[in-house]
Amino acid sequence: MDVLDEVHEILNEDIGKEAIISEKIQGNNHSNAQYDLTKLEPENIYTVDQIREVCIKYRLRFLDSKAFIGEIPAEAILKVKALGKQLGQPVDGFKIVAPKKLFQLEDKDSDPLLFLQLTDNKFYFIHKWGGELNRFRALIAAPLRSFMSMFWTLLVVAFIFSLTIPTASIDVFLFLFVHSFIAMCGIACMIVFMIRENFSDTEWNSRFFS
């Protein structure tokens, strides 16, 4: 019985630690802790600019984990626990990359990535869950990455559309191309206005609705 009691005590202690970690991820994210970067895997350390590029490419948000309303998987909590042992100190100050629908936004799609804040401009990647950040998602998000992304997308679509229409001369083709582009710009403006979406390069770290 003494051995069983000891086992139960160890298990209860581990469960308690995991509960604390879960509360930290979903609670206050501000931390002034200093971590020994030499104990971390260099390939998992990202700068804020690298994370910004990922968010813009896949149309995601990078916010404090306390704003995340999805479920934190047990595997992620165990990795945070292991990271604390690796660093020899408790870790706190988490950020998450995920589609905006998984955040509680103020007045304010599903591939979350959990990061630990190391400094103002560096973050340590801990765990990713949900679907993959795939090429299809990047393709769908491409037009709304920035104003210039939208411009070039509409230009290419107008060019392809004009190619599908048989023409007798280059002058007719250019006429179709220019007017198709103008029409598509107008349609795109109306759609963007109706869905009230901003470009990813301006909202990748915003806690507000578009």
Domain boundaries, the chain: 2-133, 141-203
Pairing of strands 113-117, 122-128: antiparallel
Residue 132 has pLDDT above 60, yes or no: no
pLDDT value, residue 77: 85
Q: Greater confidence, 5 or 110?
A: 110
Cβ within 8 Å of residue 71, ≥6 positions away: none
Residue 31 confidence class, pLDDT cut points 50, 70, 90: low
Mean pLDDT rounded to a whole number for the chain: 77
Over residues 67-78, mean pLDDT:
84
Phi, psi torsion values for 132, nearest 5 degrees: -85, 150
**C-beta separation of 17 from 10 below 8 A:** no
Residue of 86, 110, 108 lying closest to 35 (CA atoms): 86
Supply the pLDDT for residue 209. 52
Lowest mean pLDDT among 10-24, 70-84, 108-122, 125-139: 10-24
pLDDT band, residue 191 (cuts 50/70/90): confident
Q: At 5, is the pLDDT very low, low, confident or very high (cuts 50, 70, 90)? A: very low
Report the pLDDT value the prediction gives residue 6, as an integer from 0 to 100: 43
Q: Which helix (H) or strand (E) holds 110?
A: none
